Chain A
Amino acid sequence: MATVMKEVDIVFVGFGFGSSMVAKELVGTGLKMVGLERGFPRYTSPDFQSPEIHDELRFAVRKAMMQDNVREAITLRHSPDQSALPVRRWGAFLPGTGLGGSGVHWNGQTFRFQEWDFVWKSRMQDRYGKKFLDSLDLTIQDWGVTYQELEPFFDRFEYLAGTSGKAGNINGKIEPGGNPFEAARSREYPTPPLKEQYNGALFRKAATDLGYHPYPQPASNLSVAYTNPDGLKLNACVYCGFCERFACEHYAKASPQTIALPILLRSPNFELRTQCQVTQVNRDSSGKKATGVTYYDAAGREVFQPASLVVLSMFPFNNVRMLLLSKIGDPYDPQTGKGAVGKNYTYQTVSDVWSYFDQDVNINPFMGSGAIGTMIDDFGGDNFDHGPYSFIGGSYLLAAYTGGRPIETHPVPPGTPKWGKGWKDAVIKHYNHTGHILVHGSSMPTRRNYLDLDPTYRDAWGLPLLRMTFDFPENDLRMNRFCSDRGLEIARAMPGSKGVLATPRQRPFDVTQYQSTHNSGGAIMGTDPSTSVVNKYLQSWDVPNLFVLGASAFPHNGTYNYTGTLMALNLHTADVIRNRYLKSPGPLV
């Protein structure tokens, strides 16, 4: 028999970046809010301090901050005709857990998607024609919201985070030093760019010589000490090289701990409960109203938390799983194409390019930061004419080392033995003399890439695991090869380069090799309830007092790291909840 808690106004499921920022925006409304997080509480001091945090084995190799896939894995198959198997060790993507979620261990790369990303299908059709688009067999859709509507919320997130960068386009005026391809922004970044690595400087020279437009990567690891609009202080990054997969000891990375929790924990109307595993969103007999959520607390007791408004922010594929487990909306069926929950699951298409230098060129990769880097957007998204090519979408090319940690940093040129003395000698020789370019590109949805519940495997609470059916569409592999070739040209042109290697993305999708944690889609936004799960405010079409935050809403994944864009959507949602929904609850569209 479940314990029934006192009713609250809003219950947040999962307390990472999405929930914490939306909850923070609602402080001051007098609403009673409860945040439920399955993981443990943790704070910069004492939990993220050195030397314990600089433990590569624990955090980078053994993934200490990630979802416990002994208790709660996912299953994976490459196509609907296969049987899925559980992913017992995270590799390609690293879903976070614990208070703050992935907002603790992210790298801080902070981008805005392009204007045309939000009207992607219309744009592709207008520019390249319906025939070309149909030949690619992709299920792209328009998002139902425009970049212009979201611009103030991109701006708000960047100023709350203190993002370090150089604007390339302010209100239509192209600014030197920034990205000339970027969507217009209303003002400069709140702090100046991070320092440039030597690897980045070599890339800059080569890219400029080739006629491209290099600029510094926008970073939510701050370049200078900063006080944000909420009065919260952040320190300047110390370039320690332990960013992704780690927490920042220095208060220099924008995270729930630095920019949301201090405000929330001061509010008498906010309550945080950790070690609470939510298993269901409950509804009334009509099925159209959420009544609250059911969870298991740290002692294993079943609890029902009644709430007027339920917000899911569990990370994209966990959001989708919760909808499916709670039987909200129609599950997507790849055979018929009907149903929207689980549809348009996308990922990120990434690969690497390496450049080998002589011993007199010292790269010093250990002087790193999460979002340091010099990059070009000349081949991002639709920034170039795809007419001659047989794909849509694109990649940015980024010269960066986030660090040079000893266990996992061992670039060696082709032909090096794979183990033994020959390998060790090569690692010693090349560790400090190898350049790196990341090719980071878009991910297009297809009929056969989707999410549903596994028929066989269950989690520690007896509930079906999420099943991921995914492989890279040919479109994306062609796009990646094209961009990888452009990266190779730049690598060859880096001053002092004596050799290059590119490793373009291949099929089948290898879940054992880290690529990106930008899993997206499955609860996509749109204008039509038959082909989307949420509206432009991330409000469920089926259950109007349920909001589903984050990148599960993306009908496709764009070229860029998606945190900036999903935060703009989330803050847009917070704004509509605060200013419209509370006054008149119900469908907003």
Chain B
Amino acid sequence: MKIPTRATIAAALLASISAIVLAENPAGPNSYRGDPERGAKIAAWGTSNGVASCSSCHGYDGVGNGTSVVPRLAGQTADYLTQQLDKFAAHRRHNVYMTNFAQRLSPQERADVSAYYAALRSSFPPPNDQFAPELFERGRQLATVGDDKLTVPSCNNCHGPQGIGESPDIPALKGQYSNYIVYRLQQLAAGHNTADLMFPISASLTPEDMNAVAVYFASLGISSPKPSNVQQIANSPSH
């Protein structure tokens, strides 16, 4: 085994300190301007710092997959995606893989890969329509008006009309995989963080209600002929 020299030790210390500094970015989306061309390369190939290609799970088109743990990224805003990477890196969101990758990406790289995925206008796969119409209706009710008995406000209050999201904190739900939405709601309900706005809301939902909102939002992707932008939302018929 090679005995580390002082220079090697110093370099290692510097690297680990840098990693810690790079990992912590508590103030919201970092202020680096993302370059989608550089981001495309990271998405396709990963980085030499041990970051796997995002596309291997999330797809080069950002469509993700229906395994329930790999979300669609395409169409989320760059600020939202960057903030999520910052949160993963700082352990404010919990996923072993994402924390590892996010910590190994520099803040610039996080901004770049986020800018790449945010710019994509990928199509939506058809939703899994093996559900009862009543479930969809219940989801629509929770999404648009909430439920007084559960003290659950409507999802759209924060997630926007048709779930288009509100950057940088609030994701678009429109066209997200239904089983991913359920997975996240379960995670948030189990988080027990009273300062997290989603905790009391998710904790008030039954498993059936979680399925209901998930099924509703998943179906909104394909209901627009083209992927969304704000203008189209404004012009489309009310939900």
Contacts and interface: CB of A to CB of B under 8 A. Distances in A.
B148 A45 contact: yes
B195 A224 contact: yes
A235 B150 CA distance: 12
Interface string A455-474: 00000000000000000000
Interface in A198-248: 224-226, 232-236, 238
Contacts of B204: 233
A296 interface: no
Nearest to B146: A45
B157 interface: yes
Given A44-B148, A45-B145, A235 B197 contact: yes
Given A49-B144, A225-B200, A235 B153 contact: yes
A46 interface: yes
Interface residues of A, number: 20
B148 A235 contact: no
B90 interface: no
A99 to B, nearest CB: 13
A182 interface: no
Contact of B153 (A44, A224, A232): A44
A263 to B, nearest CB: 13
A236 B196 CA distance: 8
B200 A50 contact: no
A227 to B, nearest CB: 9
B173 to A, nearest CB: 15
A44 B201 CA distance: 14
A238 B197 contact: yes
Nearest to A236: B197
Interface in B132-162: 144-148, 151-154, 156-158, 161
B200 A44 contact: no
Contacts, number: 60
A45 B147 contact: yes
Contacts of B147: 45
B157 A250 contact: yes
A258 interface: yes
Nearest to B149: A262
B33 to A, nearest CB: 20
Q: Across chains A and B, which 6 residue pairs bring their CB atoms closest together, nearest first? A: A46-B145, A45-B146, A225-B200, A50-B157, A45-B148, A225-B194
A233 B151 contact: yes
Contact of A238 (B144, B146, B158): B158
B183 interface: no
A258 B146 CA distance: 14
Interface of A: 43-46, 49-51, 224-226, 232-236, 238, 249-251, 258
Q: Which of A50, A233, A258 has the most CB of B within 10 A?
A: A50
B146 to A, nearest CB: 4
B45 interface: no
Contacts of A49: 144-146, 153-154, 156-157
A232 B204 CA distance: 12
A44 B152 CA distance: 9
Interface residues of B, number: 20
A225 B191 CA distance: 13
Given A49-B153, A224-B195, A233 B145 contact: no
A249 B200 contact: no
A236 B54 CA distance: 35
Contacts of A225: 194, 199-200
20 contacts: A44-B146, A44-B151, A45-B146, A45-B147, A46-B154, A49-B145, A49-B154, A50-B158, A51-B161, A226-B194, A233-B200, A234-B151, A236-B194, A236-B197, A238-B158, A238-B197, A249-B153, A250-B157, A251-B151, A251-B153
A235 B200 contact: yes
A235 B145 contact: no
Interface in B218-236: none
Contacts of B151: 44, 232-235, 251, 258
Contact of B154 (A50, A224, A235, A238): A50
B40 to A, nearest CB: 34
Interface string B191-218: 0001101011100100000000000000
B154 to A, nearest CB: 5
Contacts of A249: 153-154, 157
Contacts of B199: 225
A235 B203 CA distance: 12
Contacts of A234: 151
Contacts of B153: 44-45, 49, 235, 249-251
A236 B199 CA distance: 10
Interface in B38-73: none
Contacts of B201: 235
A27 to B, nearest CB: 17
Given A46-B146, A51-B156, A251-B153, 17 more contacts: A43-B148, A44-B153, A45-B147, A45-B153, A46-B154, A49-B146, A49-B154, A49-B156, A50-B157, A50-B158, A234-B151, A235-B153, A235-B201, A249-B153, A249-B157, A250-B157, A251-B151
A185 B100 CA distance: 49
Contact of A236 (B146, B157, B161, B195): B195
Contacts of A45: 145-148, 152-154
A546 to B, nearest CB: 33
A251 B161 CA distance: 19
Contacts of B152: 45, 251
Nearest to A222: B194
Contacts of B197: 235-236, 238
Contacts of A251: 151-153
B194 A224 contact: yes
Nearest to A224: B194
Contacts of B194: 224-226, 236
